[in-house]
Structure 1
Amino acid sequence: MPTARSALASRRTWIAAATATVGWLALSAPAQAQAPTPQPAVQAVASFSILGDLVKQVGGDRVAVQVLVGPGADAHVFQPRPAQARQVAQAHIVFANGLGFEGWMDRLLRNTKFKGPRVVASEGVDAIAHEDGDEHDHEHEKEHAHGHDHPKAAQAPAHAGHDHDHGPNDPHAWQSVKAVQTYVNNIERGLCRVDAAGCDGYRRNASAYREKLQALDQDIRAAWAGVPPAQRKVITSHDAFGYYARDYGVEFLAPQGVSTESEASAKGVAQLARQIKAQNIQALFVENIADPRLIEQLGREAGVKPAGALFSDSLSDAKGPAATYLDLMRHNTQALVRAVRGS
């Protein structure tokens, strides 16, 4: 008759054997197949980083977005690389700002033989006519005619073969939150056109994002509410904030026109420096896409130190303060209000 000790030992031996068997069966059984990660239904190309973010907000996981002019880069002087041309050729849909912002886009689409839909995100916005043409060019020609040297634009000079004529309108409509509501509507319609199966999702995403835009607009108005209109004067590198100025009652002055490729005349810089002194303007900003030397020169002549950087035509990288459109507008507003208040 087995003793209690021998019975306990026998039970331990059985448990160990059973555990080993279960482990062996687990190792020898075929691994359960994992569900494949769903692939995006739409391959989209957006011309520049701000527009790319808007397409991502509406498209969600169903849309893979390739951005041609990435964070920190300047669309005014952009030249597509062969790899980017291939992205366009393989895309289901292309999104552009319009209003003459991407002077290189028509040629790129022709060269890549792109046949899909092209969505102009700014279609339907209340565009601002700019005065960057005849008056500026006339001043520029006078300086050359007299042999004067004058400060160059904040970016590289115009190159042969570039197409950077912005036409009669200011292209920087994304600086208006109200205008971006129209952008979102156009993006939603474009995605529904190429992906009917995902249209309900695009509509939900667009609706949710429009609510965020409405809240953003209210926050910006609240931030400026306590600043007297006479105090709302800002100097920036180029004339990229006309829509923000119109919506929120801020006066922006710039030595360059709407393109970073335009040149600031020596006379224009001197006049602006005198205006800064006369009106005691303290809010002087460089832009994230611009060479800071022109603004630094202006600051020295006017005796004003630059207050920091604004994000005009581009987002920051993912770790920066303007990684999304909403972040960009909040960052710029906070920086502007602090500067005009002198805080």
Structure 2
Amino acid sequence: MTITQLQYVLAVAEHKNFTLAAEKCFVTQPTLSMQIQKVEEELGITIFDRSKKPIQLTDVGQKIVAQAKNIVNEADRMQDIVDLQKGYIGGEFRLGIIPTVMPTLLPMFLNTFIKRYPKVKLIIEELNTSEIITKLKNGHLDAAIAATPLEEEKIKEVVLYYEPFMVYVPESHPKFVQSELTIDDLNVDEILLLQDGHCFRDGILNLCKNNSSTAENKFTIESGSFETLIKLANEGLGITLLPYLHTVDLPEKEKTKLKHFADPKPSREVSLIFPKNELKIHIIEALRTTISGVLRGAIAFQNVEIISPLQKK
């Protein structure tokens, strides 16, 4: 059997459809089906139960697919070895970034990176954390930037920076007169949150999980952007929490409404994450050093308390 045949097997296992898998592999459906049938004949087993819709893996097929992933990954590693030996940093690299990091971090490092490594073709996607994890596991991303820790067995995390939370308090709010706040000052019922699915929202809920009032809420609102949350806060509809880098370019009038937390400052950990097989590790390291270089001195790393986006057990 060939590496190409195994790639066809993996495509059908992922998409559970021969036609769709053929499109993703840029071959005709009969060609793909014939090549997979050759693999099954060579092994003397059936990998896919074609009688079910969508197509399902047989019991032995699940084991074959797991081994096929290992073989394809190791084949890809051969090119990595050659590139490292030659000192070549180039080729296509697929990077995912969570929405609450993309607008602030990407402009800081992208121009520097593409000038320093012009042979790398970056393909960048804005994705939520669950989408990133799925795409990393399926081989559709080479790396990602996300809030951690995620505690995913097959994913490695390399911390880039720690980003403190800031509280945005309108002048009409009783807490506006305080110079700094503590977690106990927060009531989750009056905090304007991002939409469900944002890991920043999950971090805030973890931070404030014990600070809920018994008062009945007059309304509930969840927005997809920090800008909307700031405008709502300005209307006196609550307070909101922002990641530090998002506050750097706020207008001076709005900066006066920002409150620091007392030490240790609740913060999120932002990391470069990638599969533990470390394919394209030379590009991953180039990204890490570039981002670390542009962030040096931009954020105070001392005396922070990391708030995980995961539910604490």
Give the alignment's TM-score, normalised by structure 1. Answer: 0.27
Higher helix share: 1
Higher alpha-carbon Rg: 1
Give the alignment's TM-score, normalised by structure 2. Answer: 0.29
Higher RCO (CA 8 Å, separation ≥ 6 residues): 2
Higher strand share: 2
